Structure 1
Amino acid sequence: MRIKTSAPGKLMLFGEHAVVYNRPCIVTAVSSRIQVAIEQTPGRFKIDAPQVKDVRFVEETIRVFKNKFKTGNGLSIKTQSDFSYQYGFGSSSAVTVATILAMSKLYHLNLSLKNIFSLGYQVALNIQGVGSGFDIAAATYGGTIYFLTGGKKIEPVPVKNINLVIGYSGVKADTPKIVKSLKLKVSPKGRSSYGRKNQKSKYVKIFNQITEIVEDAKKKLVNKNWQRVGKLMNYNHQLLQKLEVSTEKLDKMCQAAVGAGAYGAKLSGAGGGDCMISLVSKDKRNLLEQAIEKAGGQIINVDNNAEGVKTEN
């Protein structure tokens, strides 16, 4: 029996980095997906994942699944992606979640979405060592969600497709490296106790400000108060600049978008590269796209608020 599944990529709307430190974020699933086809075979595992940046996620998913459910040997797994891993859409999380659902169906386990999230988050932590799990949650549940570190809260934000323009910076970010680097700044070693306390309080203040933005944005998204949502995006980006995770290219693209009439713009994700997002009225979309391209960005056309992990056959 051959099982086919798919899971969406994601875009962070508000709250990146702060979510690693027990704060909430808002993330949306995108229409670009990763497909997984799986079937039992005699002998060893065979993985064909040419479009997934790191086959380790598929291998670790199989290992975690086997250890938990005592499933047999011999699987053939093939993946296919609608998007490049370079965009920072969370391809590793999407392929992890799609693989878990496929194995759940193959072995007639019918795992709940909550169980799929828990297993996926375990896989991500096993490989990366750090992370909040928001990308696993987006791939699992889909839609636009309000998420608290580790899945303590996963709540749908009832909003339809948000009119975003997405620009790729042309630089692939190393998310685990950036997260770990910031962690060293938040809790520096080698300083006096007083110095460490002052340093930490600086970042705690920023994370608390980001939390206020997330809580406000949650309400304003539902109310479709796009002007306020845009201002919150600008403010969130300024705080990410203070965390020193933005880049000159991302800043330039965001400035170009706002200058062309966007309600607001910010980097999306870990920073250091990958994508920026801008909120726009439909009549200014073309102007924004041109401005972002002129600033050196590549426009990525995907819808948001997409469906979560699902069976394809």
Structure 2
Amino acid sequence: LFGDIAYLDYRGKLFHQALNQEPYCSYEKLGDFVDHPPLVLVYPGIEHNSGDVHAKMRGKYLEEFKDFRGDYDTAPFLVRQMKLIGDTAWRGKIALLNSDWQGFGELMNENHRLVNAMMEYCGFQAGAGEVNNQVIQLGRELGALGAKLTGAGGGGSVFFVTSPGGEEELASGLQKKLKKLGYEQAMVWTPSIVRQGAVILDRW
């Protein structure tokens, strides 16, 4: 909506309080400091309802959060996992600002590992989704530095980061492999960053 590359921070918003009764989300634009990231985006063609995933995981997380006493070393599993996922985000911001694509890719991989384990724990038999995990494995085999889900898992899309200049080769390789595996609805893009964001063209 606002365009650009941004770092979002949702701390303090766990319980969905009334407006002005909790912190706003922080939205920090990074585009002035970051070169165009070498990304590839894959939509495997699997539709899903992200609410089905979020509702189950959020409910279980809130249950465990009741037993959290502030020490992440002894925290319940989901509370600890979410702390580690948050750590990949702020570390990823630093890697992004330094154009450290190798480090950024490693953090994407770690993020996906944590999310996959968390989803298995919550009862999703294939973790982040059999197709998602297969697509991520394919991308890594083709030389991607890292991969993670764009959303809830179980379907949706996957982002890959690769070495600068390697986007088209990775995208082409993924398209061929996915077709071979029978994913006829799969789509692969090399996304561009729109700096301006949404513009109001007319008002009713």
Calculate the TM-score normalised by the size of structure 2. Answer: 0.73
2:137 maps to what in 1? Answer: 255
1:83 maps to what in 2? Answer: none
* Cα distance in 2, alignment partners of residues 242 and 144 from structure 1: 28
| Kept after mapping to 2: 8 A contact 1:144/1:156 | yes
2:25 maps to what in 1? Answer: 152
* Cα distance in 1, alignment partners of residues 4 and 104 from structure 2: 18
CA deviation string 1:251-298 (max 9, x = no partner)? 000000001111111221111101111112323423344345445372
* Cα distance in 1, alignment partners of residues 155 and 198 from structure 2: 27
Residue 227 of structure 1, CA deviation: 0.7
User: Is 1:290 the equivalent of 2:151?
Assistant: no
CA deviation string 1:122-146 (max 9, x = no partner)? xxxxxxxxxxxxxxxxx1x211111
CA deviation string 1:184-228 (max 9, x = no partner)? 22134xxxx9x9738x72111111111111111101111111111
1:299 maps to what in 2? Answer: 187
Name the structure where helix makes up a greater proportion of residues.
Answer: 1
| Kept after mapping to 1: 8 A contact 2:39/2:190 | no
| Kept after mapping to 2: 8 A contact 1:173/1:270 | no
Cα pair distance change 1:294/1:162, threshold 3 Å: farther
| Kept after mapping to 2: 8 A contact 1:165/1:289 | no
1:234 maps to what in 2? Answer: 109
User: Is 1:311 the equivalent of 2:195?
Assistant: no
Count matched residues. Answer: 169
* Cα distance in 1, alignment partners of residues 158 and 35 from structure 2: 20
Cα pair distance change 1:216/1:291, threshold 3 Å: farther
* Cα distance in 2, alignment partners of residues 293 and 254 from structure 1: 15
1:271 maps to what in 2? Answer: 153
* Cα distance in 2, alignment partners of residues 268 and 305 from structure 1: 16
* Cα distance in 2, alignment partners of residues 301 and 144 from structure 1: 17
2:118 maps to what in 1? Answer: 243
1:217 maps to what in 2? Answer: 92
* Cα distance in 2, alignment partners of residues 299 and 177 from structure 1: 24
Letter aligned with residue 37 of structure 2? I
Calculate the TM-score normalised by the size of structure 1. Answer: 0.49
| Kept after mapping to 2: 8 A contact 1:267/1:277 | yes
What percentage of aligned pairs have identical amino acids? Answer: 24
1:36 maps to what in 2? Answer: none
* Cα distance in 1, alignment partners of residues 180 and 79 from structure 2: 36
1:111 maps to what in 2? Answer: none
Higher relative contact order, structure no. (Cα contacts within 8 Å, ≥ 6 residues apart):
2
Cα pair distance change 1:291/1:163, threshold 3 Å: farther
Residue 169 of structure 1, CA deviation: 2.1
CA deviation string 1:50-81 (max 9, x = no partner)? xxxxxxxxxxxxxxxxxxxxxxxxxxxxxxxx
Q: 5 Å matches for 1:89-104? A: none
1:179 maps to what in 2? Answer: 54
Cα pair distance change 1:152/1:168, threshold 3 Å: closer
Structure 1, unpaired ranges of 5+: 1-138
1:66 maps to what in 2? Answer: none
Q: Which moved more, 1:299-308 or 1:250-259?
A: 299-308
Cα pair distance change 1:162/1:299, threshold 3 Å: farther
| Kept after mapping to 1: 8 A contact 2:40/2:160 | yes
Letter aligned with residue 146 of structure 1? Y
Letter aligned with residue 113 of structure 2? Q
2:71 maps to what in 1? Answer: none
Letter aligned with residue 176 of structure 2? Q
Q: CA RMSD of the aligned region, Å?
A: 2.6
Name the structure where strand makes up a greater proportion of residues.
Answer: 1
Q: 5 Å matches for 1:51-90? A: none
